[in-house]
Amino acid sequence: MKLASYVANGNPAFGAVVGDGVVTLNERLKGAYRNLRQALNAGAIDDMRKAIEGAKPDHKLADIRFLPVIPNPRKILCIGINYKSHAAESGHEAPTLPNIFTRFTDTLAAHDGEMVKPKASNTYDYEGELAVVIGRKGRAIDPSKALDYVAGYTCFCDGSARDFFKYSLIASKNFPHTGPLGPWMVTADEIPDPTKLVLKTRLNGQEMQKSGLDMLIHDIPAIIAFCSKFTTLSPGDIIATGTPEGIGGKRTPPVWMKAGDVLEVEISNIGTLRSHVVDEK
């Protein structure tokens, strides 16, 4: 099942993608949940699946405006240097434990929406990633049970102001609307083994990154287990799993994003997240 958040007829909603449309779930679930995070918090995935059985789409995909798949996560946790290839191109040793940084909610952007190039940066870079959406509350989770806490998977781009790295990693990652998330999440039952997924990042149609998720240094169970050691994970929390080699800053010459560019992150069995780069107003 593909679950999305969007605006239809001027109203925020969430629903399931069916064919070329969406089945809106707000009313089909008797108005019990205002948004997808609330539905996940209530453990309502099975209810959502039942609600769309035999249902016809309420809106065409072309007629909605996507929101970040979880517009209001409590936490956005990101893993740095989590592919050996990216560690090598960046001149880093493979970290012995997941290297965690955080993003703010207002950094998120939507599928087919604007990805904002900060005024303060002349070195705006892309990082295509797989993101995990947490589905169950958990603390000190055993790695052998970690995938049981996953609601689903989605695409993410960790837009980065490279010229701020020398001052602060957190600053470089937290400019508003630099982190597209979507277009939807595919529920975990449809992706039993995320290591079989393949990620590609394209800039203006040119492939810039490609890697299997089996190349992660710290796999998804290890990441979830580590994060749950220091914080309680909650339904709707986002964990971005890191980016492979091919970032713009390590190319010769470097490739920086600019207004007018189109950035795509495609992950097999999930879909393609598309973003339109614009200058900050």
Tell me the CATH number at 101: 3.90.850.10
Which residues, other chains included, contact 160 with Cβ-Cβ below 8 Å and sequence gap of 6+? 124, 125, 126, 127, 172, 173, 178, 247
pLDDT of 91: 76
Domain's final residue, options 18, 36, 66 = 66
pLDDT of 192: 96
* HSE-up (13 A, CA, CB side) for residue 115: 33
Domain membership of residue 267 (yes or no) is yes
Domain's final residue, options 66, 95, 113 = 66
State whether 245 and 129 are in the same domain.
Answer: yes
* 118-174 residue pLDDT tens: 999 999 999 999 999 999 999 999 999 999 999 999 999 999 999 998 899 999 999
pLDDT of 29: 96
Domain membership of residue 252 (yes or no) is yes
pLDDT of 124: 98
Peptide bond into 183 cis (omega under 30): yes
Given the DSSP bridges, would you call strands 128-134 and 2-8 parallel, antiparallel or unpaired? Answer: unpaired
Structural domain tally of the chain? 2
Q: What H or E segment, with its residue span, contains residue 87? A: helix 84-90
Residue 85 has pLDDT above 90, yes or no: no
CA angle centred on 232, ends 68 and 184, rounded to 5°: 20
State whether 153 and 206 are in the same domain.
Answer: yes
Structural domain boundaries enclosing 157: 76-279
| Residue 149 one-letter amino acid | Y
**Across 60-73, average pLDDT:** 98
Domain membership of residue 71 (yes or no) is no
State whether 59 and 80 are in the same domain.
Answer: no
From residue 169, alpha-carbon distances to 124, 150, 162, 226, 227 in Å are 14, 27, 9, 20, 18
* Mean pLDDT value across the chain: 96
Peptide bond into 253 cis (omega under 30): yes
State whether 134 and 90 are in the same domain.
Answer: yes
| % of residues, the chain, pLDDT over 90 | 93
Give the pLDDT band (50/70/90) at residue 93: confident
State whether 37 and 152 are in the same domain.
Answer: no
Of 279, 278, 271, nearest in space to 130 by CA = 271
pLDDT of 64: 98
pLDDT of 79: 97
State whether 92 and 161 are in the same domain.
Answer: yes
* 30-48 residue pLDDT tens: 999 999 999 999 999 999 9
Domain's final residue, options 45, 66, 87 = 66
pLDDT of 87: 75
* 184-199 residue pLDDT tens: 999 999 999 999 999 9
From the number of C-beta atoms within 10 Å of its C-beta (0-12, 13-18, 19+), residue 217 rates as buried
